């Protein structure tokens, strides 16, 4: 079965244009068959970015991992003046994301990467709506490996649903990290997580 994270060169194209407004900002997003949330902007992603707009920091260096057609990264670049890199494994999503950058007059880097495999920089913020349908092994990489790509004070923000086990993920993160639930909306939890002070201190050797 064709999933939103599989590449299928034979899939026909039926571009659809989705609109999004936040305050004075208006966006258009081209979407297509074979990508996540083709018919409407995802409520989880929307809850995530609107929580970030309400209480996140501006002017950060950001990685949107699993960017799809660019809803999260493009909105953050424009509204929060973020310097954004966006990655996905789905070539069609990458193509749409590039179209959407142009359509919204936003500049950002978009490239293919299997989770963090092609990531070399460190980021102040990694933000994601991880691909639950890709299976636990994949979506937990989005969360657990984020800490290798964050600056010392960097934060991971993600959204996940209660019926996808977010409470367990949150509890496990809290065992070794500073984690906080920032928003609950119709079963979606927005979680912010960072490395604790004791983990960021380096061992001094005299
Ligand atoms: C839940 S969707 C979110 C898409 C987009 N960020 C949004 O909010 O509309 C997850 C995305 O992760 C991508 N994805 C799945 N497996 C991946 C992997 N191994 N590496 C990178 N991206 C992946 C999918 O193609 C999909 O675009």
- How many angstroms separate the most distant Cα atoms in the chain? 64
Distances (CA, A) of 97 to 48, 78, 88, 93: 18, 14, 10, 6
User: Of the residues 3, 5, 42, 135, which should be mutated to test ligand 1's pocket, given the most ligand atoms within 8 Å of the CB?
Assistant: 5
List the chain pLDDT tens, one digit each, 206 residues: 577 778 887 889 999 999 999 999 999 999 999 999 999 999 999 999 999 999 999 999 999 999 999 999 999 999 999 999 999 999 999 999 999 999 999 999 999 999 999 999 999 999 999 999 999 999 999 999 999 999 999 999 999 999 999 999 999 999 999 999 999 999 999 999 999 876 767 777 78
Q: Is 159 in the pocket of ligand 1 (CB under 6 A)?
A: no
- Least Cα distance to 199 among 153, 165, 167 occurs for 153
pLDDT of residue 119: 98
Q: Is 43 exposed, middle or buried (0-12, 13-18, 19+ CB in 10 A)?
A: middle
**Cα-to-centroid distance, 140 and ligand 1 (Å):** 13
Q: Is 34 in the pocket of ligand 1 (CB under 6 A)?
A: no
**Residue 24: which residues within 8 A CB-CB, separation 6 or more?**
none
pTM for the predicted model, two decimal places: 0.95
Q: Is 27 in the pocket of ligand 1 (CB under 6 A)?
A: no
Ligand 1 atom with least separation from CA of 132: 1
pLDDT of residue 131: 97
Cα(50)–Cα(31) distance, integer angstroms: 20
């Amino acid at each position: 079965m064709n999933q939103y994270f599989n590449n299928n060169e034979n899939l026909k194209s039926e571009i659809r244009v989705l609109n999004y407004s936040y305050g004075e900002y208006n966006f258009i997003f081209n979407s297509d068959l074979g990508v996540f949330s083709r018919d409407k902007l995802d409520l989880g992603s929307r809850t995530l970015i609107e929580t970030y707009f309400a209480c996140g920091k501006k002017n950060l260096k950001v990685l949107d991992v699993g960017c799809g057609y660019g809803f999260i990264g493009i909105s953050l670049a424009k509204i929060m003046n973020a310097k954004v890199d966006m990655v996905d494994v789905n070539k069609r999503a990458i193509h749409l994301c590039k179209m959407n950058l142009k359509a919204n007059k936003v500049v950002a880097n978009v490239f293919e990467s299997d989770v963090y495999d092609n990531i070399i920089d460190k980021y102040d913020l990694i933000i994601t709506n991880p691909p639950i349908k890709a299976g636990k092994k994949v979506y937990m990489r989005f969360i657990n490996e984020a800490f290798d790509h964050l600056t010392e004070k960097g934060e991971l923000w993600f959204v996940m649903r209660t019926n996808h086990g977010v409470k367990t993920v949150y509890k496990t993160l809290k065992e070794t990290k500073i984690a906080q639930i920032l928003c609950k909306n119709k079963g979606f939890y927005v979680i912010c997580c960072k490395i604790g002070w004791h983990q960021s201190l380096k061992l001094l050797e005299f």
